[in-house]
Amino acid sequence: MRISLLTQIMIAFIIAVVAGVIAGPAMQAVQPLGDLFLRLIKFIIVPLVLTSLVVGVAGTGDLKKLGRMGGKTILYYLVTTAIAVTLGLVIGNLFSPGTGLAITEPESKVEYQEAPGLVATLLGIIPTNPVAALVEGNMLQIIFFAIFLGLGITLVGEKGVPVYRFFEGLAEVMYKITSIVMRVAPLGVFGLIAPTVGSYGVSILLPLMKVILAVAIGCLLHALITYSAAVKLFAAISPVRFFKGIGPASLVAFSTCSSSGTLPVTIRNTEENLGVSKRVGSFVLPLGATVNMDGTALYQGVCVLFVAQFFGYDLTLVQQLMVVLTATLASIGTAGVPGAGLLMLTMVLTSVQLPLEGIALIAGIDRILDMFRTAVNVTGDASAAVVVAASEGELKRGRAAAVGSSS
């Protein structure tokens, strides 16, 4: 009997948690397995995104169509992110994770993180040197470069065909490499989860258990309500099929705490298991891994209330609305790498004049919160790919797309 990849990863996950609890810090010994997997998926990202997006755009060759798809994607990202922060605030109000805490106020001063201006951010999307963008792995610049390459290939016509074929071939090769790397995913998940579970003692987790629970429950609700409704209403896909299909990517995201690092898995799962076309997936997903962070936004909503409650501030409704706005923007500015959301929290706290020292309180448990929020970030990107693909008539349905979860 062949066990599906999702089941294998889940088994690895459970064994890792049990091993971490039993063996404690000794589980650090398996960290190299996790690092091995991380490096393997990271090395695929840049060539995969570049080639698949060039092929996707050149295959469309229509600026209008591309603009329409971009508009829908960004609208979906903004709306779901705003819903996520709001849910975070509601849960933060209900749970009151910052009241009655028996921990001492941190003394350390936290450095203020200056957010870059809007104009500079937008200009920064255009690479002055596309090769440098590839070398640095600057995802937005790579997307920009790939879109123009794809358009250029179409406009050139016959002479562009060899270039197209080159990218098409390389894209296929990168997909193949992704499928090879995915075979070690269960081992990788074990190597990432066991040391994390092993290194966190009860004494660190217990005082802040309410924050962890608030973020975890918020993330779960957002996925179960918002994404289920979105894929059901806009793409007529059953939520069970959606979660099963994206399961491996969600678990890899949970283990790696990196949306960008998970990208090759997300692309593969949405295409093979959920039937999203290459054109839509290769556009929507790299963009999402860089700018769409629903889990991060939700976490920031919870954390703002936590800090306010801990230091005894009352946030008015207007201030909470301000948090919806700044957390949405902050999550867009958050990089898809571990711990980035904590840095951007400074921006949100500053917007409502809360003490930045609150960050030091959260820092100790941030890795745990990062797991939940990154899993939601990635699942949210996938839901966008499904919804956009359906609206563009590019969602394969039926068995062919549904059986992929065993791959």
Binding site for ligand ASP (CB under 6 A): 257-259, 293, 296, 334, 336-341, 370, 373-374, 377
CB of 192: closest distance to ligand ASP in angstroms? 13
3-state secondary structure of 395: strand
Report the distance separating Cα 383 and Cα 376, nearest Å. Answer: 10
Smallest gap from residue 61 Cβ to ligand ASP (A):
32
Residue count (the chain): 407
Q: Which residue is nearest to ligand ASP (CB)?
A: 341
Q: Which is nearer to ligand ASP, 88 or 275 (CB)?
A: 88
Cα 183 from Cα 22, distance rounded (Å): 27
Say how far apart CA 52 and CA 46 lie, in whole Å.
10
> Least Å distance between CB 214 and ligand ASP?
16
DSSP-based three-state secondary structure for 202 = helix
Q: CA dihedral in degrees (318, 321, 322, 324; nearest 10)?
A: 170
Nearer to ligand ASP, 246 or 402 (CB): 246
Output the smallest distance, CB 295 to ligand ASP, in A. 7
CB nearer ligand ASP, residue 359 or residue 401: 359
Least Å from the CB of residue 35 to ligand ASP = 17
Rg from Cα positions in the chain: 21
* Residue number, 222 or 373, with CB nearest to ligand ASP: 373
Shortest distance, position 265 Cβ to ligand ASP, whole Å = 13
CB atoms within 10 A of CB 190: 26
Name the residue nearer to ligand ASP (CB basis): 339 or 355: 339
CB of 60 to ligand ASP, least distance (A): 28
Q: Which residues pair with 395 in a beta bridge?
A: 276
Whole-angstrom distance, CA of residue 33 vs CA of residue 310: 39
| Cβ pair 253, 373 in contact under 8 A | no
CB nearer ligand ASP, residue 171 or residue 330? 330
Minimum Å gap between C-beta 254 and ligand ASP is: 10
* Among 186, 308, 292, 294, CA closest to 247: 186
How many C-beta neighbours within 10 Å does residue 7 have? 15
Only one residue has tokens 């939940």, namely 372
Q: Closest CB to ligand ASP among 34 and 404? A: 34
CA distances from 304 to 86, 89, 93, 327, 339 (A): 12, 8, 10, 10, 16
Alpha-carbon distance of 241 to 149, in angstroms, equals: 35
Give the nearest distance from C-beta 301 to ligand ASP in angstroms: 13
Nearer to ligand ASP, 66 or 253 (CB): 253
CA 105 from chain centre, in angstroms, equals 31
Query: Between 130 and 261, whose beta carbon lies closer to ligand ASP?
Result: 261
